[in-house]
């Protein structure tokens, strides 16, 4: 099902909209400003979701950030929150698969050894994307965050936007 058309405010209509990657490409790359930059972000998202599906057998991804608005300012790239269908399957991952999952998530305040350094933030896909994991019961918190519209002065009060949901 294609993503709905942009509103007059250059947002997707409020709500969560089921989509596949072709739908996302059509609305968020082809039908939006900065198509060349958006193409790079789309490639990052596509690769990211392929890697996630190798670790997480089934789930949903909510796509957010300025990338989901029809604006020239793409902000920090694509934001993705992952919602696994079966938390038990993640708990049963072997050490290598768990490390692979952690490598797909944005980490903040990381200390690395050899050489010792502090990293404020570590992001997957070369920093083009922020990936988060939604814990059971936190769905509404993420839905509220993904619906909010952020501008130079922070969150715009009384304004909501929609966002795509990809399932596998």
- For residue 104, pLDDT beyond 90: yes
What are the φ/ψ torsions at residue 123 (nearest 5 degrees)?
-120, 145
* 74 part of a folded domain: yes
Tell me what the pLDDT averaged over the chain comes to. 92
- For residue 117, pLDDT beyond 90: no
Instruction: Measure the CA–CA gap between 15 and 17, rounded to whole angstroms.
Output: 6
Domain range holding 151?
Answer: 15-167
* 2 part of a folded domain: no
* 7 part of a folded domain: no
- Omega before residue 115 within 30° of 0, cis: yes
* 121 part of a folded domain: yes
* 58 part of a folded domain: yes
- For residue 118, pLDDT beyond 80: no
Q: How many domains does the chain have?
A: 1
Q: How high is the pLDDT of residue 37?
A: 94
Question: Collapsing DSSP states into helix, strand and coil, what is residue 59?
Answer: strand
* 129 part of a folded domain: yes
* 75 part of a folded domain: yes
Instruction: Measure the CA–CA gap between 64 and 163, rounded to whole angstroms.
Output: 6
* CATH number of 75's domain: 3.30.460
* 10 part of a folded domain: no
* pLDDT band with cut points at 50, 70 and 90 for residue 4: very high
């Amino acid at each position: 099902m294609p993503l709905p058309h942009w509103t007059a405010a250059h947002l997707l209509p409020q709500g969560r909209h089921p989509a596949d990657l072709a739908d996302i490409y059509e609305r968020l790359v082809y039908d939006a400003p900065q198509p060349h930059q958006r193409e790079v972000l789309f490639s990052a998202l596509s690769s990211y979701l392929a890697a996630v599906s190798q670790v997480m057998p089934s789930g949903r991804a909510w796509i957010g950030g300025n990338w989901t608005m029809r604006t020239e300012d793409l902000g920090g790239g694509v934001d993705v929150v992952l919602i696994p269908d079966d938390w038990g399957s993640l708990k049963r991952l072997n050490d290598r698969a768990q490390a692979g999952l952690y490598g797909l998530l944005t980490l903040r305040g990381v200390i690395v050894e050899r050489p010792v350094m502090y990293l404020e933030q570590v992001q997957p896909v070369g920093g083009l994307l922020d990936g988060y994991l939604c814990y059971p019961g936190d769905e509404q918190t993420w839905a509220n965050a993904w619906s909010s519209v952020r501008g130079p002065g922070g969150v715009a009060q009384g304004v909501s936007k929609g966002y795509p949901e990809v399932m596998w």
